[in-house]
Amino acid sequence: MVSRVVFGRGSFDQLQDILAPKRLNVKAPFIFLVDDVFKGDSWITSRIPLAYKDQILYISANEEPTTAQVDELVDQIILNHNDGPSGIIGIGGGSLMDLAKAVSIMLNNKGGAKDYQGWDLVKSAAVYHVGIPTISGTGAEVSRTTVLTGPDKKLGINSDYTPFDQVILDPELTRDVPRDQWFYTGMDCYIHCIESLNGTYLNAFSESYGEKAYELCKNIFVDDKLSDEEAQDQLMMASWHGGMSIAYSQVGVAHAMSYGLSYLLGTKHGIGNCIVFDHLEDYYPEGVQLFKKMKQKHNIVLPKGICADLSDEQFDVMIKVALSLEPLWENAIGKNWKNVITYDKLKALYQKM
């Protein structure tokens, strides 16, 4: 679990006080990995407390993080600084959260990031790392994984060293998120709840967090009676609770199939989950019904026909990636999932998207 958290509007300004005692020496910099959407946005960037050799690296979130990108960032940090960093601070959405987690691990572990995709492969503790989310939904700020696309798979580095040492939850930072993106990333949280609460891995720990996140999502996306500020506060906490819920259970059908889309077509996580989930009424009837209502209420039009021109070989790649995520299927369907989920069933579903 994340060991230290602050929550509150304006809490971003506590960053300097939080970092000061963690500085190893004046030559050991803090490296800020910041979503490049904030480049030139002084409202956020002017509040980043730079001193000595500290450095901001602006990074695009247009594409999801890759193992090669993590390796390049690590090389760049090592080459540009004589001393190893005092800490890595990620500022942005799930993409930047994952990059900060992965870079902090790889600074202290030999080899390439692809060698650590899987469960509990990390040998040495990561460099001190801090997460500051600027969009809510993925739960990446709280989770035990950092999802990376590698040369042959999209899979997280799941380990006890992955979670942040410190998270700053300042809902005010999410105020300028574009409306569509707010919905897609928010729905990632909603789908985490549905997949966790309807999964065979469910237990009291996951259920208690999942139910709370589900209730908050309904306040925000269905009842819609909150002020903008209340909605920002609640979605940030929904994201946290949704992340905690899947930390002790698993996601399900939407995530497995969305990983396939992402691997083959580069479809981003939030929108990819929405595209898939829209067709999963056989698996999550009530969840999908409410999803369609929320989609309509917020005037969201999802892309159609994204698989229309795919070749048989491409379907093959996508279906193999989806089917390789065995724990997700086992959680969704049960131990006998291989008798229920067939190649042809998945192909027919993808063809509808």
For ligand NAD, the binding residues (CB under 6 A) are 35, 37, 61, 64-65, 92-96, 98, 134-135, 137-140, 143, 145-147, 173-174, 176-177, 181, 185, 188, 268-270
Q: What is the DSSP string of 172-184?
A: GGGTT--HHHHHH
Q: Which is nearer to Zn ion, 85 or 272 (CB)?
A: 272
Residue 132 exposure: Cα atoms within 13 Å on the Cβ side: 26
> Angle of helix 312-323 relative to helix 343-352, nearest 10 degrees?
110
173's contact among ligand NAD, Zn ion, none, with CB below 5 to 8 A by partner kind, is ligand NAD
Tell me the window of 52-60, 106-114, 183-191, 291-299 that interacts with Zn ion (CB under 5 A): 183-191
| Shortest Cβ 65–ligand NAD spacing (Å) | 6
Q: Which is nearer to ligand NAD, 24 or 181 (CB)?
A: 181
114's contact among Zn ion, ligand NAD, none, with CB below 5 to 8 A by partner kind, is none
Cβ neighbours of 7 (radius 10 Å): 14
Residue 252 CA to residue 89 CA, distance in Å, equals: 30
72's contact among Zn ion, ligand NAD, none, with CB below 5 to 8 A by partner kind, is none
| Shortest Cβ 55–Zn ion spacing (Å) | 30
| Residue in this structure with the two tokens 């572990």, named with its chain if needed | 109
Residue 315 CA to residue 200 CA, distance in Å, equals: 28
Amino acid at 284: Y
Q: What is the DSSP string of 65-94?
A: -BHHHHHHHHHHHHHH-SSPPSEEEEEESH
| Shortest Cβ 208–Zn ion spacing (Å) | 19
Residue 230 CA to residue 341 CA, distance in Å, equals: 41
| Shortest Cβ 93–ligand NAD spacing (Å) | 2
* Measured torsion, CA atoms of residues 191, 193, 198, 203, in degrees rounded to the nearest 10: 150
Largest Cα–Cα distance in the chain? Answer: 60
Binding mask 143-182 for Zn ion (x = CB under 5 A): ----------------------------------------
Q: Which of 188, 195, 233, 330 binds Zn ion (CB under 5 A)?
A: 188
Closest residue (Cβ) to Zn ion? 188
| Shortest Cβ 24–ligand NAD spacing (Å) | 26
Q: Which is nearer to ligand NAD, 177 or 220 (CB)?
A: 177
Q: Nearest 5°: CA angle at 154, between 148 and 158?
A: 60
| Shortest Cβ 181–ligand NAD spacing (Å) | 5
- Contact set with Zn ion (CB under 5 A): 188
